[in-house]
């Protein structure tokens, strides 16, 4: 039997004491979108993660398939070498720093 993602999420949101209006406001979507989420048999991981952050609930027990750690390596943007997987924030921060350094070099060349 396949689980109904929307119903599971709705039950936990209501148990946490959040109204549909509150969830919609914190998600930057309309109330009708929240109702559509609750009616879906399958929700994508991004929606589940977003709702989990808002209501302060770890959905890893309900949806372990969305929380498995990946054992992939990532290329360091500075050196081009492979490095172990790390927090996504750090990856984007590193990319930003590289672009910022390139921008400063362009400005100083003029």
In this predicted model, what pLDDT tens digit does every residue of 49-78 receive, in sequence order? 899 999 999 888 898 888 765 545 555 555
pTM for this entry: 0.58
Residues 51-63 as b or e (16 or more Cβ within 10 Å = b): bbebbebebeebb
Ordered by start, the domain boundaries in the chain are: 5-66, 73-109
- Eight-state DSSP code of residue 69: P
Question: Would you state the pLDDT for residue 85?
Answer: 53
2 vs 85 pLDDT, higher one: 2
Q: Indicate the CATH number for domain 5-66.
A: 1.10.260.40
């Amino acid at each position: 039997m396949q689980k109904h993602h929307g119903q599971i999420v709705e039950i936990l949101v209501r148990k946490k004491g959040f109204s549909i209006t509150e969830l919609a406001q914190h998600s930057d979507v309309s109330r009708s979108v929240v109702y559509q989420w609750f009616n879906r048999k399958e929700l994508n991981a991004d929606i589940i993660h977003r709702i989990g952050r808002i209501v302060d609930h770890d959905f890893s027990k309900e949806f372990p398939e969305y929380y498995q750690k990946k054992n992939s390596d990532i290329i360091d943007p500075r050196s081009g070498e492979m490095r172990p997987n790390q927090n996504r924030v750090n990856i984007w921060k590193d990319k930003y720093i590289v672009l910022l350094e390139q921008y400063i070099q362009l400005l100083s060349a003029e």
